[in-house]
Structures are given as structure tokens and as C-alpha cells.
Amino acid sequence: MWVIVPPLSSTTRMARNPAIDVTRSEQPKVAAAAGQIEIAPVRFGDLRSAAALQKRSFAPRLAYSYLTLLFLHLMPGVRFLVARTGDSIAGIAIGDRNKHQSRVVNICTDPSARRQGIATRLLRQLENELPTGDIVLMAELDNAAARALYTKEGYAELGIIRNYYGRGKDGIWMQKTRTGGKNPTSTRETI
Ligand SMILES: CC(C)(COP(=O)(O)OP(=O)(O)OC[C@H]1O[C@@H](n2cnc3c(N)ncnc32)[C@H](O)[C@@H]1OP(=O)(O)O)[C@@H](O)C(=O)NCCC(=O)NCCS
């Protein structure tokens, strides 16, 4: 059974316009030239930082709250990864599985740390931790960054759902077909 995450369908409404005003929430804490970054399961103590990163990455109605993240952290079928550098959280990837199909629920990178391969590493690790079956996700049609990321990682665009994210905001279903086994593109744990 899929995990139901409030707000409704926000599990797949993650592809909001990336042009987010970062001044409206906590300022980025991750230096662009951050040193070692480790991809690891989230810890309870990461959740406040993860909630702040959600606010920096998504429009208000799409950002997961602390309570939503806590719920996801506690759900047994959910994989919740962070990209950690020192005490800072540079990225988040969350996924879950329903029978033979897996789903990318949420992924984001701190605005100050983008285009360094962090989301790619998070996504690959998430795929490794959801090793069997196809993986599906939904992205906002005008989220070019997300669509480019997923396309590069082998996801095909399957179809458009009109007004999925609200009036005039269409969603696009993407899927990575897997025959089983782990993601062959997975790489090392740190950069
Ligand atoms: C989409 C997002 C997660 C990408 O994170 P990232 O850590 O910068 O991604 P990566 O560095 O791993 O980029 C991998 C590839 O994705 C593509 N990509 C990433 N950002 C891009 C952008 N702004 N424009 C075009 N392509 C982009 C590129 O192909 C990139 O490879 P390259 O840098 O070698 O050209 C990030 O922009 C983000 O957090 N956006 C806001 C939240 C969001 O929209 N999440 C996705 C919801 S579906």
C-alpha cells in the first residue's frame, strides 16, 4: 500500500517551479563548495533542517512540514535519505514501494548546492534501496530541472495530467523500467 502523505498528492506534487524565493524562509546553509557529502538515512535530529530545506526548495503548499517528514521517517516502508555535509542537510530523497512498483516521493537539493550531482546521487541511492520493480514519479511539466534530471537517469515521460498541480499547472508522469536487481548506474557513497 502506498504511503499517503499530506497535503493531498504532495507525494507526487513535488515538481514545483524551481524558481523559489529563498528569502521567504531560512537562508541556505550549505556552501556551494561544500566538502564531503555523505548520502545516508535521515536521523531524527535531521528533521528540523530537512523541513527548512523543504521550505527553501518548494512553494509553501508543496513543502513538507516537520510533521510530515516525521511521519515519513517513522513509516516502515519509506526510504528517507539525506545528503549530509557536517551538520547541514544539502539534499533530501524520499521514496516508497507498493508491491512490485516503487515511487520517488520527494527530492530536492539546497539552492546553494545545486548542479553538483547531489540529486543524482540521492536518486541513485534511493533506487538502490528500492531495488525491485519499476519506479514512478510525477513532476510538474514546467520543472525543466527535474525533468532533465530524471531523463538523464533513465526515466521516460509517460503522459501529462492536466491541472494536476492546480489550475494551469500540469503534471507529467515519468517511469524508469527495471528488470530487477540494483541500479547499475549507482556510484560511490561520497563526493
Ligand atoms: C531538481 C533538483 C532536485 C536537481 O538537483 P541537483 O542536485 O541540482 O541535480 P544534479 O546536480 O544531480 O543534476 C543532474 C542533472 O539534472 C539536470 N539539471 C539539474 N538542474 C538543472 C537545471 N537547473 N536546468 C537544466 N538541467 C538541470 C542536468 O542534466 C544535470 O546534469 P549536469 O549538471 O551534468 O548538466 C533541484 O533543482 C531542486 O531541488 N529543485 C527544487 C525542488 C524540485 O523541483 N524537486 C524535484 C521535484 S520533481
117: CATH? 3.40.630.30
Q: How sure is the predictor about 12, in pLDDT bands with cuts at 50, 70 and 90?
A: very low
The answer to whether residue 17 sits within a structural domain is no
The answer to whether residue 25 sits within a structural domain is no
The answer to whether residue 60 sits within a structural domain is yes
Q: Which ligand 1 atom sits closest to the C-alpha of 148?
A: 17
Say what the pTM is.
0.85
The answer to whether residue 3 sits within a structural domain is no
Q: Residue 18 pLDDT more than 80?
A: no
Q: Which ligand 1 atom sits closest to the C-alpha of 110?
A: 39
Q: Does residue 37 have its Cβ closer than 6 Å to ligand 1?
A: no
CA distances from 155 to 83, 118, 151 (A): 22, 17, 5
Per-residue pLDDT, averaged over 22-26, amounts to 39
State how many domains the chain has.
Answer: 1
Ligand 1 centroid – CA 65 distance (Å): 22
Per-residue pLDDT, averaged over 54-64, amounts to 93
Q: Which protein residue's CA is at the shortest distance from atom 30 of ligand 1?
A: 149
The answer to whether residue 99 sits within a structural domain is yes
Q: Which protein residue's CA is at the shortest distance from atom 27 of ligand 1?
A: 145
Query: What's the confidence (pLDDT) of residue 29?
Result: 52
Pocket-testing residue among 109, 118, 121, 141, ligand 1, by greatest number of atoms within 8 A of Cβ:
109
The answer to whether residue 26 sits within a structural domain is no
Q: Residue 33 pLDDT more than 80?
A: no
Domain that holds residue 134: 36-176
Preceding omega of 131 cis (within 30 degrees of 0): no
The answer to whether residue 187 sits within a structural domain is no
The answer to whether residue 189 sits within a structural domain is no
Ligand 1 centroid – CA 18 distance (Å): 9
**Under 8 Å CB-to-CB from 65, ≥6 apart: which residues?**
51, 54
